[in-house]
Structure 1
Amino acid sequence: MQPTSYSRTQIALHWTIAALVFFQILMHDGIVKVWDGRMEGTLPNQPTINPHAIAGALILVLVLWRLVLRRRRGVPGLPEGEHPALKVLATGMHAALNLLLILMALSGMAAWISGVEAIGEAHSIARLALVPLVLLHVLAALYHHFWLKTDVLRRMLGRA
């Protein structure tokens, strides 16, 4: 049977991941400077502990935990009466976000540990897809809340 609401854990994971992704976007320039220093030889070419790397690893663990919870507990259904195209878009958006977060965390760790510039470039380019996906996700939630008047946003706020 499909649940009618998200669990407290699912909600906490969603907002924790969102905050960490926001942190990663804001801290991007700092990690680029450290990476460039490693590649130019002005900093030791060895992985060091830094907030960006820690947040990336934490995002990976939390996204995987969230997916396990989704599989075991399920999630509320999409709003009744919603256009089928919107349901397809919502499903695709969530899959793309989860996949991209996992791939970015793995590629970031691989680049940081190995010091291979091509992996670092791929990781950096992936953010060009992540930022618009996150913005679209936020806009879709606001669209549901203010235009369609559904409970999608309230459910993720724990108020449905």
Structure 2
Amino acid sequence: MQPISYSKAQIILHWTIAALVFFQILMHEGIIQVWDGRMTGTLPNEPTIHPHAIAGVLILVLVLWRLVLRRQRGVPGLPEGEHPALKALATGTHWLFYILLLAMALSGMAAWLLGLEAVGTVHSIARFLLIPLIALHVVAAFAQHFWFRTDVLRRMLGLA
């Protein structure tokens, strides 16, 4: 049986991960400067404690926790009567988020800890997938609320 709402833990994890991802996007240039210094030899090629790296590890742990909760508890169903294409887009978007967030956290850790430049480049480029995905997610949430008049946004705000 599907739950009719998200649990408090699921809601808190969603918004905490969102805040950490936003932080990562804002702090991207700072980590790039340190990374470039490591790769050019102006800084020792050793991983150091950096807020971007710490936030990446937190994202990894929280996304895994969210997946465990999803498996144990489930998630509310998509709105009844919604077009199958929109349901497929919503489902695909959510799974792409999980895959991308896990891949970015793992690739970032591998690049940072092992000094792997190619992996670091892939990690950095992945943000060009993540940022539009976030925009799509936000637009879809507002469309569900204001255009389709569903409770999708309210559920993730803990208001449904």
What's the CA shift for 1:37? 0.4
Structure 2, gaps ≥5 residues long: none
Aligned to 2:142: 142
After superposition, residues 1-160 of structure 1 pair within 5 angstroms as 1-160=1-160
2:16 maps to a residue whose letter is T
2:91 maps to a residue whose letter is T
What's the CA shift for 1:130? 0.4
Question: Number of matched residues?
Answer: 160
Tell me how large the CA RMSD over aligned residues is. Answer: 0.4
Distance 1:138 1:98 in 2: 16
2:11 maps to a residue whose letter is I
Distance 1:116 1:150 in 2: 45
Matched position secondary structure for 1:62? helix
Structure 1 residues 26-61: Cα deviation after superposition (integer angstroms, max 9, x where no partner): 000000000000001111110000000000000000
2:98 maps to a residue whose letter is N
What's the CA shift for 1:132? 0.4
What's the CA shift for 1:116? 1.1
Structure 1, gaps ≥5 residues long: none
Structure 1 residues 2-41: Cα deviation after superposition (integer angstroms, max 9, x where no partner): 1000000000000000000000000000000000000011
Q: Percent identity?
A: 76
Distance 2:148 2:12 in 1: 25
- Give the alignment's TM-score, normalised by structure 2: 0.99
Runs (4+) off by over 4 Å: none
What's the CA shift for 1:63? 0.3
Matched position secondary structure for 1:76? coil
